[in-house]
A and B are shown apart, each in its own frame.
Chain A
Amino acid sequence: MTALEVDAVWKYYGDYPALRDVRLTVAPGSTVALLGRNGAGKTTLLRILAGLSKPSQGKVKVYGADTRDEATRRRIGVLGHGISLYDELSAIENLMIFGRLYGLPDPARRAEEMLERTGLDRVRDGLVREFSRGMRQRLAVARVFLHDPELLLLDEPFTALDDRAITVLQSLLAGMHQRGRTIVMSTHQLREALELATHVALIQRGQIAYAGERTAEMAADTGWLYRTYGGNG
């Protein structure tokens, strides 16, 4: 069974098609780097995959089920642009909330684990409002991995992370990949992404211009993909 199947998806804003006939298949265990210029449709596509919006036409299936199914959403982890954490609550409180929403049997234990993993166990009771930027980012990462998702959707995760947070994220992602989990990440940071990626998809003006395995060429020369398939926009 495929991890992710995007079947002839169109997304309209009024009469304007932000996504046109997008077809993409992601096998379980792969790490897909979703590339594309700003405005090409990466975020729009990711939002549909995450269940945050519905396609105007076409279907998306995650592990064979609809993205809006409750059971499916338990298996998906989403990291967007914002950190998705509550400023007036503490680190542990924030993680407990999401732990309960995702139906974890022992949210407290899992939350403590993730705090340790991201180096935030000393500030477990600190309010997020008082955290430094790097700490907030690491807590955001902790939140995403909290319920051990099988499919991870990340929208430009390396942007605006500091070094420590990038290291934490990379190690968590590598760990997930080793365990056969599936990752789809949109990114501008070609180098970090292409290191981790097994597959690459290029979106251009709402369409998939290229989708396939990551080759040695791409890793060596990060601009190659855009030059070859990017056309003139």
Chain B
Amino acid sequence: MTLLRQTLTIAGKDLRSELRTKEALNASLAFSVVIFLLFSFAFDPGNLNLDINEFSGGLLWLAFAFAAALSLNRSFARELQNDCLDALVASPATPGVLFLGKALANFTLLLAVEMISLAVFSVMYDVRIRPQFGSLLLVILMTTWAMTVIGTAFSALTVNLRMRELMLPILTYPFLIPPLMAAILLTTDLLAGMPIGGDNAIWVRVLVAFDVIFSLLAVVFIDIVLVG
């Protein structure tokens, strides 16, 4: 199917470019570790009276969100060099396909950074991730997709603007408040060993609804952004 082939071609191109230089990958990873380190100065993790379970989710997702900003920015920015964006828009690939291809690549890269960061986090803060790992993975996948959809769409939006690096975080973070909230609540519960269900099931619904609705909106409306 051509749509799939085109989407995978674009995703593959982005991934190949990124893996060859590893610039964004290394920067994001380093950044999230730095955040974990800095947070440790805000309180004393060695203090046995301190319950990491109260804010484990918050800390983790703040680190993920900030690291995401580093890699998402490059998503459409890399097309500006040599006028590649024009060639892509002029090609038979529809703007929706362009968007999905890039979103897929961003998602993969972000997920890689998050998985490594999660491992580092569990070591640094002595948090057990095995008990509810399946559910945790689900939450991570859904929230990462939410960040990717908004981040990639806004990367396209700001690609030609003067203050691109600054504008992307300013625009993106307020939008991500609902999924990040859901992720933080769910992750905190899951890392404390509580399964999903009852009280926090509603947050799974929020994530699913957010993902579905904004993915649709992005794919449908992205050609407004990409085609002048």
Where the two chains meet, the residues of A that have a C-beta atom closer than 8 Å to any C-beta of B are 47, 50-54, 68, 70-71, 73-74, 76, 78, 80-89, 93, 97-98, 100-103, 143
> Which residues of B (1-23) have their CB < 8 Å from a CB of A?
2, 5-6, 9-10, 13, 16-17, 20-21
What size tier do the contact residues of chain B reach?
20 to 34
Identify 17 new A-B residue pairs, CB closer than 8 A, beyond the known A86-B17, A87-B82.
A51-B90, A52-B90, A52-B227, A70-B92, A70-B94, A82-B86, A84-B83, A84-B84, A86-B78, A87-B81, A89-B13, A98-B87, A101-B6, A101-B91, A101-B93, A103-B2, A143-B87
Closest Cβ of chain B to A114, distance in Å, is: 15
Closest Cβ of chain A to B39, distance in Å, is: 34
Closest Cβ of chain A to B44, distance in Å, is: 44
Q: Is A47's CB under 8 angstroms from B227's CB?
A: no
Closest Cβ of chain A to B130, distance in Å, is: 38
Closest Cβ of chain A to B80, distance in Å, is: 9
Main secondary structure of the interface of B (DSSP, over half): helix
CA distance A97 to B101 in the complex (A): 13
- The yes or no answer to B209 lying at the interface (CB within 8 A) is no
Q: Is A52's CB under 8 angstroms from B228's CB?
A: yes
Q: Is B17's CB under 8 angstroms from A85's CB?
A: no
Q: Which residues of A have CB within 8 Å of B116?
A: none
Closest Cβ of chain A to B145, distance in Å, is: 24
Q: Is A84's CB under 8 angstroms from B227's CB?
A: no
Q: Is A80's CB under 8 angstroms from B86's CB?
A: yes
> Which residues of B (141-166) have their CB < 8 Å from a CB of A?
none
Closest Cβ of chain B to A206, distance in Å, is: 16
CA distance A215 to B90 in the complex (A): 33
Q: Is B91's CB under 8 angstroms from A102's CB?
A: yes
CA distance A78 to B86 in the complex (A): 9
Q: Is B6's CB under 8 angstroms from A93's CB?
A: no
Q: Is B20's CB under 8 angstroms from A88's CB?
A: yes
